[in-house]
Amino acid sequence: MLRCKSRNLFAVLKRLRTMTTSDDKDIFPVLMERQVKFQPSSGEELVNIVIQIGYPKWTEPNIEASCPVAFRGGIGRVRDIRGADPINAMKLAISFVELYMQRDKDEGKFFWNDGEEYLEG
């Protein structure tokens, strides 16, 4: 599990690259998802990516909550994003997804399914 505040999300992005999970907890009930495509900077074919955000839940009642996030077809499930309560955890999970998709373009670019480049924010 990973705890972060909005201003620290860029540092968290770097840490999450090596913090994916690959066990039975990879599957979780999905609250929302987005379908996009990713093209590596190497020029390879576009890859279909399904971004999933699960239901936030308390990890410690009234102290901390977490929200699962996965990039299916890409980096997979990352460590749960933590916040002060379920709403904060959800907000941080959404912020994480947006920042991850806007990261260093040297690694590749995200596209909407219609082929338009993903330029959010």
- Whether 62 contacts 55, CB under 8 Å: no
- Residue of 103 and 96 predicted with greater confidence: 96
24-28, 54-58, 82-86, 110-114, range with the lowest pLDDT: 24-28
Amino acid at 4: C
What rounded mean pLDDT belongs to the chain?
Answer: 83
β partners of residue 52 = 33, 70
Asked whether the predicted pLDDT for residue 25 surpasses 70, the reply is no
Q: Read off the pLDDT band of 121 (50, 70, 90).
A: low
**Could you tell me which residues come within 8 angstroms of residue 58 by beta carbon, excluding any fewer than 6 positions away?**
64, 65, 85, 86
For the chain, the structural domain boundaries read 2-111
Q: Read off the pLDDT band of 4 (50, 70, 90).
A: very low
Please give the Cα distance from 36 to 33 (Å, whole number): 10
Query: What is residue 17's predicted lDDT score, i.e. its pLDDT?
Result: 45
Q: What is the mean pLDDT of residues 19-32?
A: 73
Query: What is residue 10's predicted lDDT score, i.e. its pLDDT?
Result: 44
13-27, 68-82, 104-118, range with the lowest pLDDT: 13-27
